[in-house]
Structure formats: structure tokens, C-alpha cells
Structure 1
Amino acid sequence: MRGGAHVRAVSDARFDLRRGECLALVGESGCGKSVLASALLGLLPANAQTAGSALLDGAEPGAETVDLLTADEATLARRVRGRRVGLVPQSPAAHLTPVRTVRSQLEETLREVADTPRVELRAAARAAAVRAAFPEDHLDRYPHELSGGLAQRAATALALIGDAPLLLADEPTTGLDRELVDRTVDELRRHTGDDRALLLITHDLAAAERIADRVAVMYAGRIVEIADAPAFFGAPGPRHPYARGLLDALPERAFTPVPGMPPELTDLPAGCAFAPRCDRATDRCGTLPALRAPEAVACHHPLPVRVEAAEVPGA
């Protein structure tokens, strides 16, 4: 609810995420990416409603399959958050305890989540900090004494403790320079390995291109395209006009902004939400397109497949 009106922040978000895989969820600010992450961890406001299912499999020893959307708070707090699903939050200042040092928060998480013996806590906290490129000489500082980038790295260090089977990284590179962006996403990718999964929520397409196996593009609360990352960033490229527009807006590409503005979630059109900004729109776009295989693009008029020009010997 917003101002007495119902807001469909996320609709028909359908995707799977396999062990050993990184899926990058990309799109403009306000499209619903962070709302989706909050829903998966039961962190939505009390007046929010969810429907459907989000199954976390029980492949690890002693674990059962959990539906994250229907699980009660006790299950999420005691068995899911931190243990089976780790979170790198978009706003680390809201997740760090303001009256405790970074070291004490790392040590507490190591005790609770990783069952680290007390005699090993200090060394383990240092190792956790190094893993997230957090400087050891800042471990005894309080959150208010950290820059935005350092707070982000502290939150990343906390999220990686316990090696959760699923890691949700919600804009994990906010406030970081390019070198630290690369280092952070590389560490998140290493965390995935062969038996863990990473959902990277980001507007940083360079970070997504660096580590993602697949890309899901969200617009106005809906996923409009899912593609393998090499095909998305290379050839044949995105098929949805909005997804192609995101890439073409990058400085290293055409540097052409997507025209217009995203719609208000309280006033979505009946059909394709991107139609008012799309030069390919027709009357058919007044009906909502579905995301269907094998194209995995929700568009009535998807862009043609780009074919890289090949050199012909002797031509």
C-alpha cells in the first residue's frame, strides 16, 4: 500500500537459479529489484502482501526445502537468514548495529552462524574482513565512523560468513571505486563456486558482465528478458527493446539514453509498460506480453537477432 493505493511492485517474477550459477538482475532504479530480494527474505513492510512460491531446495545435508514466501518469521530468522541465505544489503548502515564495532559484529556472526570456537574468533574476524577487502585497522571502529564504501565492505564480510548456499547481493558495489567493484564482485563469484548460487541485484552492467552466467532484466516490476550473459553482452545481444536500450546507454557503447521515464507503479498501463517509450510499439502492445521460452523475452515485437559479420576469404 502507498497512500491508500495498492502498488504491484513485482509481478510474475519467474526464474530459477542453479547451484554454481550467478544470475544478475538488472534494471533502472525503482523497477522492483530490491523489493524482490526483500520478499525472498521476509523483510517486506508489514502491510505488504506476497503470492506464489519461492522454493529454496534442501540439497545440503539435513536441510529441507523451504518456501521463502510462506515460511513464518521463526523459520526465516533461525534457519534461513545468514545460514541458508546470506544478504549483502543495499543500505548497509541500516543493517549494521550502530553501537557495536565491526569486529564485535563479525565475531558475533561467526559464533551464531559458523559455530566458530571462542578462542578462534579474533583470527576468524580478521580473515572475514580480508575476504571482503575491509581494512584490518578499521575493525574496532563503529559504523558511523566508516565511509559508505567501508560500510558496504563490512556488510559484505558479514554476509559471506557461513558460506550460505544462496547469496543475495543487493547493489553490493554502491560507493566503491572501479577497482574495489571488481574485487568485490570477484569475491562474490568465488563464493559461488560449484555448489552455491548468487543473485546479483545491480544497476552496474559492467559488474554484471564481469561475473554473471545469466542476466534477467526487470522493468516496471516485471522481468522482461532472461538471457545467457555472453549472448546478452555480445552477440546476438538483447531482444527486448528496453534491454537493448540499457546497453546502448553505456558510455563505452552508443551512449544513447533510453527516452522517456519509467511509469509509476501505481499507474501501470494494461499492456506492455515499456510501450510509451518504445519506437516499435503497436496496438498489439496494449495487451501484456508473457515471458516464454525459448526466446525468454516478454515483447510482442522483439528485436531481430544480431549476426556478427564474418570475413570471407578471397572476398
Structure 2
Amino acid sequence: MTRPRPVLSVEDLSIRFRMRDGAYVQAVSGARFDLAAGECLALVGESGCGKSVLASALLGLLPGNAETAGSAFTGDLDLLAADERTLARTVRGRRVGLVPQSPAAHLTPVRTVRSQLEETVRELTGVRRGPGLRAAAEEAAAGRAAFPIGHLDRHPHELSGGLAQRAATALALVGDAPLLLADEPTTGLDRDLVERTVDELRRHIGAERALLLITHDLAAAERIADRVAVMYASRIVELADAADFFGNPGPRHPYARGLLDALPEREFTPIPGMPPELGALPAGCAFAARCDRATGICGTRPALADGVACHHPATVPLEAPRA
């Protein structure tokens, strides 16, 4: 079956930061993936692997010492090559809607949710004032993000974590952006709220919209993702259908297997060792020092081929979760 045209196409995306001493920190190395309308791709991995840096690059929000290479197309626009004027006027909110990691920090604390929604509606839709503006803001809140209208005149600090997340989601949806980017949207939420938050995000995927979910929460990814991209030490090391990744045959990269094995409902076995520093990445496989499959060939960097970047990918099905 032919997949729809990608909403986002990332090709050989690399990001590094130049430090004051002239050294470089390699945050993302040669990332490549496509994301089609109607699809959720979960980008997973431990904290510090480069996931959120990749998200910042798509929105043009990298700091001044960042250097990028490769491309990230949405339609005919390369997000990495776009200038700030283009990003501000045609990308943020219009082509890419951001659901942030910390909605409380994302929302302006001294203004009500209603005033922030109305400002966003004015900016992105052209509805300027009067009953039409009020109705559009209320529809964005209640109709799109299930945010109760009775809470619109509250300030962010008066909202629960779940309502603050819904308010941030409503803001992200106003411009009908074809790409919804959720960067660690469940951080700090209890499990019930995590499930409700990701279910709400999944509801907004459709014929003209895709979701890129950046998370370290594998349970959240399993719940809503169609595909999974696993990132380790700046590199995507596995790209797989979610059903295969979380079910049978399971992950093929040893690191990805280790992530699942560390879950309480599985073997609850942590991965030994620590990831390498991004400022001193090895020339070969970055996971080799922690891997019980490593051999001499792992001193050379494996390419992402057939969905896995590993010289010794797993072939035995992963043991199912315990009941």
C-alpha cells in the first residue's frame, strides 16, 4: 500500500553546538524519517539523546551557537533553511503546532486562557474582534481540546495540570497546522492523566494532520503511536511499526530492547553503563560500550538499513510482558 505524501520529511538532519572553547557538541546526527497525514510517529529515548533539540530545529528555535545540516521539508518549505520572518509568519502555529513540555511555562501567567486564545485566533485566522472572536476562541477550547468554557477566564496557575495541557493543546490547534508537534507533553502527569492527554492528542490526527510525539514514556508511545523511532546518543538507531516494536518480533536494536526490558511490566532490568557524552561520541556504534553483542566491527558506525542501525540486530522475538 502506498503511503500518503509526507507532512514532514527529514533527511540527514544533523545539529551541533559550538562551545566557547571551540569544541562541538553533536546533538543530532543524520536523522531521517517521513511522517504522513493520519499517522503518529513516537520519537523515544532517554533524556539527553537529542529528541527535543530536533523538535526545536523544526520550529527554528535553536540557540545562536547551533549549526544545522540536512533538510526538514513540510510541503515545499525546508524548515531548516527558512528565515525567522518565514518561520514566524508561515510556520509556527500554521504549519507546525506545538504542544509544549511545560504548559504552565508556555502560557502567560498574568493573562487568562481566554485572552491568550483570542490573541492566537486573531493572529492565525484573521478574526479580529466582537462575537466572532469570542466564539472562535470558545470553539478552539471546547470543540477542539475539550477545555471547559467555564474555565476560560481563569489564569494558568488556577488550572490543574490536565487543564493546563488542554489549554496549550487548544492554542496549538487554532491554526489548523498539518503537523502537531508534542514535546514531552506528559511530563509530571500521573498515569491516568498521561493516558487522557495522549488519547486527546491522538484524536486530532486525521486526513490532513500528523502527530510527532517526542517522549521518554514508552507506555504513552505504545498507546497511540503508529510507528516508533528510537534515538540514542544523537542518532536514530531503529525505526519500526509500533505493533512490531511493542509486540512480536519486538525491537531489533539492543538498546531498544533494553528500553523495553527496563519497564516494570517486563523484566525490570536496567541497561548497564551510561550513554556517551555528546561532545565525545565514538566513531563507531555509540551503544557498543554497553552492549553484550558488540564485536570488533562495532568500531565502525552502522547505517540505518532495513529500519535498524546495528551490526548485530536481534532476530529472536522479545519475551511478552508478564501478566
TM-score under structure 1 length normalisation: 0.89
Q: In 2, distance between residues paired with 1:173 and 1:202?
A: 8
Q: In 2, distance between residues paired with 1:276 and 1:307?
A: 22
Structure 1 residue 116 displacement after superposition: 3.9
What do residues 40-96 of structure 1 show as CA deviations (whole Å, max 9, x unaligned)? 110000111111111111xxxxxxx10000000100100111011101112334432
Q: What amino acid maps onto 1:8 in structure 2?
A: Q
Residue 60 of structure 1 is matched in structure 2 by none
Matched-pair contact (CA < 8 Å) for 2:19–2:65: no
Q: Does 1:277 align with 2:290?
A: yes
Of 310, 314, 318, the match for 1:299: 310
Residue 54 of structure 2 is matched in structure 1 by 36
Q: In 2, distance between residues paired with 1:45 and 1:21?
A: 30
What do residues 108-132 of structure 1 show as CA deviations (whole Å, max 9, x unaligned)? 1122213346313333333333343
> Which aligned pairs between 1:1-315 and structure 2 lie closer than 5 A?
1-4=18-21, 5-57=23-75, 65-116=76-127, 118=129, 119-130=131-142, 131-292=144-305, 295-306=306-317
Structure 1 residue 167 displacement after superposition: 0.8
Structure 1 residue 147 displacement after superposition: 4.9
Structure 1 residue 196 displacement after superposition: 1.2
> Partner of 1:193: helix, strand, or coil?
coil
| Count of residues in correspondence between the two structures | 300
Cα gap change, 1:175/1:122 in structure 2, threshold over 3 Å: closer, same or farther? farther
Structure 1 residue 270 displacement after superposition: 1.5
Q: In 1, distance between residues paired with 2:167 and 2:256?
A: 32
Matched-pair contact (CA < 8 Å) for 2:251–2:318: no
Bigger mean CA offset, 81-90 vs 150-159: 150-159
Matched-pair contact (CA < 8 Å) for 1:173–1:184: yes
Structure 1 residue 145 displacement after superposition: 4.1
Structure 1: gaps of 5 or more residues: 58-64, 310-315
Q: In 1, distance between residues paired with 2:128 and 2:136?
A: 10
What do residues 129-159 of structure 1 show as CA deviations (whole Å, max 9, x unaligned)? 3343444443223334445544333212211
Structure 1 residue 257 displacement after superposition: 1.1
Q: In 1, distance between residues paired with 2:32 and 2:128?
A: 41
Between Structure 1 and Structure 2, the one with more strand by share is: 2
Cα gap change, 1:53/1:253 in structure 2, threshold over 3 Å: closer, same or farther? same
Matched-pair contact (CA < 8 Å) for 1:133–1:184: no
Identical aligned pairs, as a percentage?
80
Q: In 2, distance between residues paired with 1:205 and 1:127?
A: 32
Bigger mean CA offset, 234-243 vs 261-270: 261-270
Q: In 1, distance between residues paired with 2:187 and 2:39?
A: 22
Q: In 2, distance between residues paired with 1:114 and 1:253?
A: 47
Q: What amino acid maps onto 1:115 in structure 2?
A: G
Matched-pair contact (CA < 8 Å) for 2:162–2:193: no
Bigger mean CA offset, 124-133 vs 156-165: 124-133
Q: What amino acid maps onto 1:104 in structure 2?
A: S
CA RMSD of aligned residues (A): 2.0
Bigger mean CA offset, 169-178 vs 198-207: 169-178
TM-score under structure 2 length normalisation: 0.87
Structure 2: gaps of 5 or more residues: 1-17
Q: In 2, distance between residues paired with 1:56 and 1:184?
A: 25
